[in-house]
Structure 1
Amino acid sequence: MGYDEDTQARAARRKKRKRRQRTMGVLIFLFLILVIAGVGYYIVFGNSKVNPELIKNGLGTAGNAVSGLIRTGKDALPDSIKEKLPSGWFETETESETETEAPTETETETEDHSDEEAAQLIAEADAMAVSYDYDGAAKHLKASDLYAVRTDLQQKVSEYKTQKAACVAIAPEDVTHVFYHTLVVDPSKAFNPDLDGYAGWQQWMTTISEFDEITQEMYDRGYVLVSIHDLIKKTTNEDGSVTIEPNNIYLPEGKKAFVLSLDDLCYYHTYDNHGVASKIVLDENGKPTCEYVQDDGTVVTGAYDAVPRLDAFLEEHPDGCYKGARGIIALTGYNGILGYRTDGTYSEDHNTNSEVYYRDDLQSEWLANHPDFDWEQECEDAKKVVEAMKADGWEFASHTWGHKNVGETDYDDLVRDTERWFEYVSPLIGETDAIIFAHGADISSSGYTEDNAKYTYFKSKGFDIYCPVDSVPYTTTVTSEYLHQGRRNLDGYRIYNDAISDNPMTADLFDASKVLDPDRPLPVPDL
């Protein structure tokens, strides 16, 4: 990498020449004495010339090497001996070649740069290995031209293989799945009993403090975040159908895998003035962060929700995730996504006469307060944020367009809602094969079959992953057609009830009594 073929060839020749010189080191001394003794013999007995061919023929290959070394070392011979040698004795091809191929300043710099490049490659590979991507780390080093000539790179590949061999297989059935809603920044505002929906905010929402405590404690207990797609392998058959099979995850002994999802990361109008973030934006480095509207109306940016907070934690603790995984975000569409007003109801082309998708009062009020709103630009801005999040490892899923209870919604309404989601959400986030059901609902209580019309429809739309809510630790099923995984709600209701319970349901994850935010009003209302 970064070197032309001529430079590499010169470097190879220099290394070969150095090895040859070291090997001949001992012989040089012995044969030099022998040759000088022979020259002295001829001088003593009155011969006026030395026959170099006699030396070459008598010593064979070693003689060639020695005679060459005598020529290049002529300054070490006494003048009385040099006078008896033939005139062309010291002018040899070996000397000429040595002068031509002597290392130049540029080549020396190249060697130094090679060390720097190797160190950089190892640093990049180590960053992959620390997240348990041992194969990726080895592949990264092997892809370099330096790998064939550097033992440090080769040794690193051997280390990665050893680390991988020591890992333990974790089956999908042994992977737990947790989820959150939007995090509460200001509990005094979110849990104000005078606000509409007080009970729901207390039950469903987790505070920033609680999220951080849970994240740290799960990490300390050896939990490693994995992508839900790491749990399965997909094979496309000749007829275009897809066959699914379980996929094991390999982690060091003592580590445990979990999946994370985030619901409703859309920042609905009903969230305004409730002490939560208002939008996901990109910071000066192009990384996801959040906007937050303060009491005086000023907008500040920072880690005010789960996405930037988890990103920051895993940047500091890269061994807390598997191959750079992040969570999967379940999006509705009726108020747009990620705080961007991207639904068709906000566009100028919206059909105000629609009986199904009408512009409600909150949407009309918002548009009135934003007279310069550009819907097409809003969609483009949302796409940029999505792409930055995907680059960091975040994934996306459907949460139905209208936050539907899929168990109670009739088939025709569910189809209409799904088509709306594909019209206004899918173009912004790209393809997804996952649907995360709202309200903890499901389309069946005993597996999916072809006689289930809702399942058949969702399957025809490309959904292979289905997630309801189930608070028990492990509820993963993998069939040849789908992955079904229950999720555990880590919200105010669960944290509070586990904190006062003798048999907490989240005891395997964290100590709820330590996690419970002291600023949360108690008790949390029953569901």
Structure 2
Amino acid sequence: MNENGKRKRIRIATLSLLALIMLIILGVSWLSSKDLAFFNKQKTKQASGKISTHINSSVSNDSSVIKKADLLAKGYDFDRAIALIKGVKDYEGNPDLESALTRYEKEKAQMVRWQDVTKIPHVFFHTLIADNQKAFDGDYRQDGYNAYMTTIEEFKKIIQQMYDRGYVLVSIHDIGHLEKQKDRSEKMVPGDIWLPKGKKPFVLSQDDVSYYEYMEVDGFAKRLILNKKGNLTNEMELEDGSIVTGSYDVAPLLEDFIDKHPDFSYRGARGIIALTGYNGVLGYRTSPSEYTNSPTLKEDREKARNVSLTMKKQGWEFASHSWGHINDGSAPYEVFVKDTDKWEKEVESIIGKTDIYLFPFGSDIGSWHPYQGKRYEYLKNKGFNYFCNVDASKPSWVQLTDEYLRQGRINIDGIRMYEDLYKGKNTLSTLFDVKPVFDKERPLPVPGS
């Protein structure tokens, strides 16, 4: 091959190599740009996903806050509902939160202050009859149950009627409360209750929530318990000895009603549970002095304590009903003192401190004049500031002094309803219509009426 031929072949090889290099470079560049585009696309998708998740989370959180605030507002607790909304960061500019806030403020502005706290009725029940056939079976206990107890169906109708008439459940502490003075003393002052126009406050209590041993075979709940979800309910023993759970007494039934009608409870108020101690509390045999050798005493006291803690979180309050269900006004003073101390030791040690005393038998430790004397002083020194007797002679009675608040209670039972229905007394007519309430399975006439 001559010299020219060699040069020609070298040029062609060089050009081919250069072309190959250029193709490689272009290919790499194209792949790089494609990968970069793909990477950027994926990054954008991930970022978009994060933003979307954040937005959904925010919406979910806002929705949860509004749901909680709505529940507070339905119970007339607008200040807490408003504070809950304002506690959300950057709530201003959030249309849902701002709308809820505007609604709460508008509804709050329409509330009316209850002017006279002495015009607030207080109704009370005993343990509800869950099985009429067992309670009204003709034995020697039938007359007592017929006179002093209320059936489940009666209770449900009463609460529904009172709700329909505009009654709202309040705490006795809403009626009046102790307030610190400039000299560091405490003074009982009227409370501020704000409700929509037409709504009316009332207090509810239940006596003897011990599920006494003598009632075990007569168609009553056995005890209050917490179910697997930690909710309050009852145990009841059937004829065959099997145990069923459900709402068979005042507290669980009222919880069921408030779940459906949160506007029946003012700022989370529930009722007052009055406890004796000689048969234990809440269906548990908790008295160390009466059940000294019980192998379940410690366990029963712990179970009762857990139930009471849950009830207090729900808004229930507890009261002394004396340890031995004594007549506090007529019992010898030494008996009265011993009984009060025993309640403190055996009952208060389970349910915690309370400042409410509901007198057994509807008795009292004084006349209608302001309290004085050593019985009052003893109870006052024990920390009691609220005292309730029984007075069905008027729709409501409240005595508020600088030191305490005393309230008369109306018993809603067989006697009271029978007198209204058949004797024209109309004691309960402002609360509900007795005629559709009165249980047709009650033996007539009702003893004691």
Match of 2:28 in 1: none
SS in 1 for 2:68: helix
Distance 1:486 1:110, change over 3 A: same
Match of 2:15 in 1: none
Match of 1:184 among 129, 135, 139: 129
> How many residues matched?
404
Q: Is the Cα–Cα contact under 8 Å of residues 370 and 401 in structure 2 kept in the other structure? A: no
SS in 2 for 1:435: strand
Q: Is the Cα–Cα contact under 8 Å of residues 285 and 291 in structure 2 kept in the other structure? A: no
**Aligned AA for 2:283?**
G
Asked if residue 142 in structure 1 is aligned to residue 86 in structure 2, the reply is yes
Shift of 1:238: 7.2
Asked if residue 484 in structure 1 is aligned to residue 429 in structure 2, the reply is no
Match of 2:334 in 1: 412
Shift of 1:474: 1.1
Match of 2:390 in 1: 469
Match of 2:160 in 1: 216
Distance 1:346 1:523, change over 3 A: same
Gaps of 5+ in 2: 1-42
Instruction: Report matched runs for 1:354-373 at 5 Å.
Output: 373=295
Structure with more contact order per residue of length (Cα contacts < 8 Å, sep ≥ 6): 2
Give distance in 2, aligned partners of 1:241 and 1:408.
32
Shift of 1:239: 7.0
Distance 1:104 1:456, change over 3 A: same
Shift of 1:475: 0.1
Gaps of 5+ in 1: 1-98, 351-366, 368-372
SS in 1 for 2:366: coil
Match of 1:493 among 415, 419, 422: 415
SS in 2 for 1:286: coil
Match of 2:279 in 1: 335
Asked if residue 194 in structure 1 is aligned to residue 139 in structure 2, the reply is yes
Structure 1 length as normaliser, TM-score?
0.74
Match of 2:299 in 1: 377
Shift of 1:237: 4.9
Match of 1:523 among 426, 434, 445: 445
Shift of 1:104: 4.5
Distance 1:173 1:192, change over 3 A: same
% identical aligned pairs: 43
Match of 2:247 among 292, 298, 303: 303
**Aligned AA for 2:405?**
L
Asked if residue 441 in structure 1 is aligned to residue 386 in structure 2, the reply is no
Give distance in 2, aligned partners of 1:406 and 1:465.
15
Distance 1:347 1:517, change over 3 A: closer
Match of 2:319 in 1: 397
Instruction: Report matched runs for 1:274-289 at 5 Å.
Output: 274-289=218-233
Give distance in 2, aligned partners of 1:449 and 1:279.
36
SS in 2 for 1:178: strand
Instruction: Report matched runs for 1:231-242 at 5 Å.
Output: 231-237=175-181, 241-242=185-186
Structural RMSD (CA): 1.9
Distance 1:504 1:380, change over 3 A: same
SS in 2 for 1:468: strand
SS in 1 for 2:55: helix
Give distance in 2, aligned partners of 1:264 and 1:255.
30
Structure 2 length as normaliser, TM-score?
0.86
**Aligned AA for 2:154?**
E
Asked if residue 509 in structure 1 is aligned to residue 431 in structure 2, the reply is yes
Shift of 1:146: 3.5
Match of 2:204 in 1: 260
